[in-house]
Structure 1
Amino acid sequence: MSVAQSANDIRDRLLDAAGLSLDRLPMLHVIFDRMATYCADHLRHLAASPMYYSLSSIESGRIGDILEIYEANAIAGVFHAPEWDSHVLVGFDRDFVFTMVEVLLGADGSEPPVDEERGFSNIELRIAQSIFEQMGKALQTSFALVSDSRFKFERSETRMDFAVIGRRNNQAVVAKFLLQALNRGGEMFVIIPQSVLNPMRQTLARVLTGDSSARDPRWTKQITSEVKRTEVTLRAVLEERHLTLGEIADLKIGQIIDLQATPRSRIKLEGNDEALFWCHVGQAEGSYVLRVDDFVDQDQEFIDDVLAR
């Protein structure tokens, strides 16, 4: 073993013992936020009721201590990451599983939530397993910012003692996500051994710029279509005059108000009270028409309005 290799091994052992400083790894928050978005987008089409995913916290601790919290209260999925030569754990607590089952089977939330201590049924285990398969893609897409790795689902466990991804006293990072649906919710958690993140700590310490996220073309197309169908009211303004409240109160039916505008004056085209374009008025086939000449300078408009007041 070379001196450099020995020094690296000693440094890694010290880091393992001390634990990662999560405050210095802002990219972890970006990655897990992306995972929450992925889960919401790709599971939404499976359910009639809306579901909301959000990242609630990122913590560090020993694997055994983290798993002890979920003993007899969760289903864990073990994933193998070949490029990392390690395993990652994704888990759903009891409330998450029960809520997801109701959502996927078409419940409307009128029934009270399940509140009994029992083992998971075969249907609940199968639904959890189908969601685990989606989680592998979510992990791969989310970590693509810093590492190109696949996540292969191997098995699910209901006994946390059997959800082995390393020694129980090894340090790990756990990200916790909140699921909300049908006026109830549950928790999903992702456990990653610290030894996996140590080689990436320099990359995780800085927020990467650039949009390398994988987008769902169907979802993007649907959003674009809905935005383009939004109705906007257009108004052509020939001239604006500022009057006092007293002058407006003195207006009478039949009174003539002089305008400075002429047929050659520019007309302001507004959309939902926002100035958009300068236009000129004309006629075509007996109707008035507008020809768009230029964009409205919003900054200059603001300055002119302030000066006029």
Structure 2
Amino acid sequence: MQDVNDTPDADQSDEASAEAPPEAQSHASGMGHDAREDAFTGFEDSMISSHMLDQSEIDSLLGNTFAGLPDREETGMERVIKAGFVAYERLPMLEIALDRFVRLLSSTLRSFTNDNVEITMEGTRSMCFGDYMNTVPSSSLFAVFKAVQWENYGLVVVDSGLSYSIIDILMGGPRGVGHAGTEGRPHTAIERSLIEKLITLTLNDLSVAFNPVCTIDLTFERLEVSSRFAAIARASNAVVMTKLHIDMEDKSGNLDLIIPYATLEPVRDRLSQQFMGERFGRDSIWENHLMSEILETDVEVSAVFEEKLLSLSQVLNLRPGTQIAFPYRSDTPIHVTLQCGQNSLFEGRLGQLHGKAAVKIERRLVPPDSPHPHTTPPLASRE
């Protein structure tokens, strides 16, 4: 049985701890703090090494803080100002050409990346060039191209997600894990050359897509990293913006096609056709039928022998029986002009045919620019 006096009480333990030197206490507490810091740092390193956040996860974590501004409702004055824009819906052939472009680009990118590529056209809309450039992310790449026959420019905008995804695929990056690099860094010369190759293939397919409408050569001009150096139109100019979403298994990105209306102006009539092969809205069958009916229409033709200018006072003094003298001699032929309304048709000489007054046509005054052939009688008679 243990003696009660042998058991250390609380007071003795407190005294022992109080008698300990302060250097030993601080050393013990410092060792505990360093151990906790080392353990936390090791945990962080293991978490970072096991998984690195990509741009989509960062955007989700931050609540899409760096995403574009939400579309706001336009005011009445803005709608009045934009009423002068030619809506792309009035250009049916443009929409058909863009649909054809999506199919061609899908096949080209499958061969280019050796991967399964799906392209979706998210929308086409008319807007001001300045409004688009204010909302495009600063990390995008801007490819300026020239339409040779139209003598104007266009713009292809590749966002950072698509550019780095293409680079990962072409440089042999890992499959099935998405892009794991740093999207904020600038592109190297090799990466820029790969993006330029992508832009060149895109422009070739766009040129082929416009071939049923017109022949056009779209050539790559330059690649810019800042929107300030990619200004191809004034901020208030209207453009057609087409947004394409490109999926490559675990990687994806957006590609925007910007074409100013000034660029499309030379072929605006062809783009306004309702279907492929329509010739500027003309129907040759209806034209031929209408022309044949017009040629069968009866018109009144007047024979003008001579014209003389009279003053208004002389016209007011005309009375029944008043004679107007014309310079005519009996031995000279009478020249006659045949008119339909105020339009002069033919010139000829007055004569007789079968006891009736007739005009022999000597010269035609109507220009022979009509594509419809018709015969003109050599002699026109008038009762």
TM-score, normalising length: structure 1: 0.58
RMSD: 2.4
Alpha-carbon deviations, 1:40-73, whole Å to 9, x = none? Answer: 1122222232111222211111112112222412
SS at match of 1:29: helix
1:201 paired with 2:295, answer no
Contact 2:237 2:260 in 1 (8 A): yes
Partner of 1:241: none
Partner of 1:157: 224
Query: Considering only CA atoms, is the larger Rg found in Structure 1 or Structure 2?
Result: 2
1:86 paired with 2:155, answer no
Partner of 1:29: 95
The aligned runs of 1:258-297 (5 Å cut-off) are none
SS at match of 1:77: strand
Partner of 1:95: 161
Distance 1:23 1:124, change over 3 A: same
Alpha-carbon deviations, 1:219-249, whole Å to 9, x = none? Answer: xxxxxxxxxxxxxxxxxxxxxxxxxxxxxxx
Question: Which of 181, 191, 197 is equivalent to 1:130?
Answer: 197
Alpha-carbon deviations, 1:166-211, whole Å to 9, x = none? Answer: 212211111111100122311111111112223433322334336x
The aligned runs of 1:1-309 (5 Å cut-off) are 18-114=84-180, 116-122=182-188, 123-209=190-276
CA apart distance, 1:108: 4.8
SS at match of 1:144: coil
**Whose RCO is larger (CA < 8 A, sep 6+)?**
1
Tell me the distance in 2 between the aligned counterparts of 1:21 and 1:71: 25
Tell me the distance in 1 between the aligned counterparts of 2:174 and 2:117: 12
**Which amino acid is 1:85 matched to?**
E
**Which amino acid is 1:141 matched to?**
V
Gap regions ≥5 residues in structure 1: 1-13, 211-309
Q: Which structure dedicates a bigger proportion of its chain to strand? A: 1
Count residues in correspondence. 197
Distance 1:206 1:113, change over 3 A: same
Distance 1:135 1:117, change over 3 A: closer
**Which amino acid is 1:63 matched to?**
F
Which range moved further: 123-132 or 112-121? Answer: 112-121
SS at match of 1:36: helix
**Which amino acid is 2:164 matched to?**
F
SS at match of 1:167: coil
**Which amino acid is 1:27 matched to?**
M
Distance 1:114 1:120, change over 3 A: farther
Alpha-carbon deviations, 1:147-170, whole Å to 9, x = none? Answer: 211111110001011102121221
Tell me the distance in 2 between the aligned counterparts of 1:114 and 1:178: 20
Tell me the distance in 2 between the aligned counterparts of 1:102 and 1:149: 32
Tell me the distance in 2 between the aligned counterparts of 1:185 and 1:207: 34
Tell me the distance in 1 between the aligned counterparts of 2:120 and 2:96: 12
Partner of 2:374: none
Contact 2:177 2:250 in 1 (8 A): no
**Which amino acid is 1:125 matched to?**
R
Tell me the distance in 1 between the aligned counterparts of 2:165 and 2:223: 19
**Which amino acid is 2:136 matched to?**
Y
**Which amino acid is 2:224 matched to?**
E
**Which amino acid is 2:103 matched to?**
T
Tell me the distance in 2 between the aligned counterparts of 1:75 and 1:161: 12
Which range moved further: 121-130 or 149-158? Answer: 121-130
Query: Identity, % of aligned pairs?
Result: 24
Tell me the distance in 2 between the aligned counterparts of 1:73 and 1:175: 19
CA apart distance, 1:116: 4.4
Gap regions ≥5 residues in structure 2: 1-79, 278-383
